[in-house]
A = this chain, B = another copy of it.
Amino acid sequence: MVKRWLVGDPLKTAQFADERLSKRIALAVFSSDALSSVAYATEEILLVLMLSGTAAVSFSVPISFAIVLLLTILTFSYRQIIFEYPTGGGAYTVAKSNLGSSAGLTAAAALIIDYILTVAVSTAAGIAAVTSAIPSLFPYREALCIIAIVLVVMVNLRGVRESGRIFAAPTYVFIASFLLMIVVGLAQSYGARAQPLASAPLPETAEALGVFLILRAFASGCTALTGIEVISNGVSAFKKPEPHNAAVTMVAMALILALLFVGISVLAFHLGVLPKADETVVSQIARATFGEGVLYFLVQGATMAILLLAVNSAFAGFPRLASILARDGYMPHQMTRMGDRLVFSNGIIILGGFSCVLILLFRGDTHALIPLYAVGVFLSFTLSHAGMVKRWLTKKGIGWRHKLAINSVGALATATATVIIASTKFMHGAWIVIVLMPLLIAMFLQIHSHYVAASEQVALARDARPPRPRRSLTLIPISGVNSAVVRAVDYARNQGGVVRAVLVDMDPEETAVVETRWAQWGCGVPLVVLPPAQRSVSRTLTSYIEDHLKKDADCWITVVIPEILPARWWHNALHNHRALLLKAALLFKDRVVLTDIPFHLIR
């Protein structure tokens, strides 16, 4: 009931029709992850540079340009993936098909970790946009993050069609409001109308600005590029011709991202904005540019909205990846199962759970989460592009040297960025990801080897039918004579083979009573009375059954258990403890079959 209300009615399979997206809608659907990182990337660069004093802050602009250069390289490299994998070229697919399953699983592990981090980071940043505008909410940011994640989980459990619809407006409002802010801000700045903000006092023990710090700032800024791969995963969702439309959309997205990111970085520099604990850089810029009017709140609202859309996109991507991994036997099969609403419910719930854990561990603080982020993304970028390099070398084809050159530059650039990110942020949290990845890969391999072993064991030989027991002995363990027992006896007599009731003689007086009543109600089924072993009914029965299994190797033993099913759930605690113990003891015996005969109480 509650599930229906929260999640909606089950959908028919037919409703799982393809929903092809126009370029305009696709840009909105697929770019929220990439564009939303503009909300925090500049701030993360400034936070690192500030360690070395105010003067160092001016490096944020060249660093931003370096990141845009990387973005350009990646965009060209990804265009080729789009044309080569028109059904969707995720890092797992590209790496696996070109570099083998180890590379594929490495990419998968990296992606899984980064989906979880995307949710945590984007939620934290989205709530930071809210608490910057409404400072009185700042103390409740962890709770707000959890609420936001729960809402997104519910939206996603309702299903993909409805969540697709809500993308377009917020994304375009975000783009428009940020462009407006950049234009107005820069105009004010060059017209010298804006007052530079008062700088926050700097730490006295400022670090000297060295190469390491600049690289660390670059590494933090690289979070701006997270999410640019989303379009290449979703090529098949575009209208025809899919690869062409996807490639055009990819370029458009990269342009917008470059514009917004560089715009914010330059504006932050001109306005002299520095990070604060309780207000984001974007909020400070918006406040300085627009004052505290409607436009300011529009910027903050749009920022929050696009960050929640980025969260949402992880909820689309993670379950899809998990289901692909499950189909390949690297994750539990139930990840492939769609829920009532035609979404991969298990994946959605797992992603929601883990990201809530991250939010609580890192107290909903974007800056604390950033060092973990991007390592995985860039590793998966590297594996994708390296896979393409291998592909051209193997496959060749028309113009392969040109294509090889583009993807080689992409692979080299992302590999370099990965090394920079992993090494400069290692101590600040990247080590967690680097420890987790091999563990995840080991889990994939364990699961896979189990499924392989299991399918070998259940496989049927070409001709030989497995030998089977021919005889059948049915046992009914009883401790008294009542309607539930009589029902079980009736059922057992209806089946073939020999039937016997068994009673463990725990109390001779009680046993005598049962024997007398059995004469009336037993219908001629013989009653075997067993002397108790170790004062335990279940041990006595188990050893009796074991003896029989040993004596007769060609016999099924069916244990028919009269089970009382109460009308209310809590009544279960009051019944069937013996039956449960017995079942637990017998579950692992070959040739022993457990059959519950239900007797339903109605009150």
Q: List chain A positions with a Cβ less than 8 A from chain B.
A: 10-13, 332-334, 337-338, 340, 342, 447, 450-451, 453-455, 457-460, 465-466, 468-470, 472, 481-484, 486-487, 490-491, 494-497, 521, 532, 534-536, 556, 558, 564-566, 571, 573-575, 577, 587-590, 592-603
A470 CA / B493 CA spacing, docked (Å): 10
Query: Would B486 and A334 count as touching, CB distance under 8 A?
Result: no
Contacts of A469 in B (CB 8 A): 490, 494
Question: In the complex this chain forms, how many copies of it are found?
Answer: 2
A439 CA / B521 CA spacing, docked (Å): 41
A598 CA / B588 CA spacing, docked (Å): 8
Query: Would B10 and A535 count as touching, CB distance under 8 A?
Result: yes
Query: Would B598 and A333 count as touching, CB distance under 8 A?
Result: no
Q: Least Cβ distance of A62 to chain B in Å?
A: 51
Contacts of A332 in B (CB 8 A): 573-574
Contacts of A565 in B (CB 8 A): 587-588
Query: Would B12 and A454 count as touching, CB distance under 8 A?
Result: no
Asked if A460 meets B481 with Cβ closer than 8 Å, knowing A486-B465, A556-B491, the reply is: yes
> Which residue on B lies nearest to A455, using beta carbons?
B482
The 8 closest A-B pairs by CB, nearest first: A458-B482, A468-B490, A595-B595, A334-B577, A458-B483, A495-B495, A496-B496, A13-B535
- Extra A-B contacts (20), CB below 8 Å, given A337-B577, A453-B603, A491-B556: A10-B536, A13-B532, A333-B575, A334-B577, A338-B535, A340-B536, A454-B564, A454-B574, A457-B483, A460-B482, A460-B483, A465-B486, A468-B490, A469-B490, A470-B494, A558-B595, A590-B598, A593-B595, A593-B596, A594-B596
Q: Least Cβ distance of A327 to chain B in Å?
A: 13
Query: Would B457 and A601 count as touching, CB distance under 8 A?
Result: yes
A333 CA / B576 CA spacing, docked (Å): 10
Among A536, A593, A602, residue most surrounded by chain B Cβ atoms (within 10 Å): A593
Asked if A450 meets B483 with Cβ closer than 8 Å, knowing A10-B534, A597-B593, A598-B593, the reply is: no
Query: Would A333 and B599 count as touching, CB distance under 8 A?
Result: no
Query: Would A590 and B600 count as touching, CB distance under 8 A?
Result: yes
A574 CA / B481 CA spacing, docked (Å): 40
Query: Would B454 and A575 count as touching, CB distance under 8 A?
Result: yes
A438 CA / B41 CA spacing, docked (Å): 60
Query: Would B340 and A534 count as touching, CB distance under 8 A?
Result: yes
> Which residue on B lies nearest to A480, using beta carbons?
B458
Asked if A454 meets B587 with Cβ closer than 8 Å, knowing A332-B573, A534-B10, the reply is: no
Asked if A494 meets B496 with Cβ closer than 8 Å, knowing A338-B535, A564-B454, A598-B590, the reply is: yes
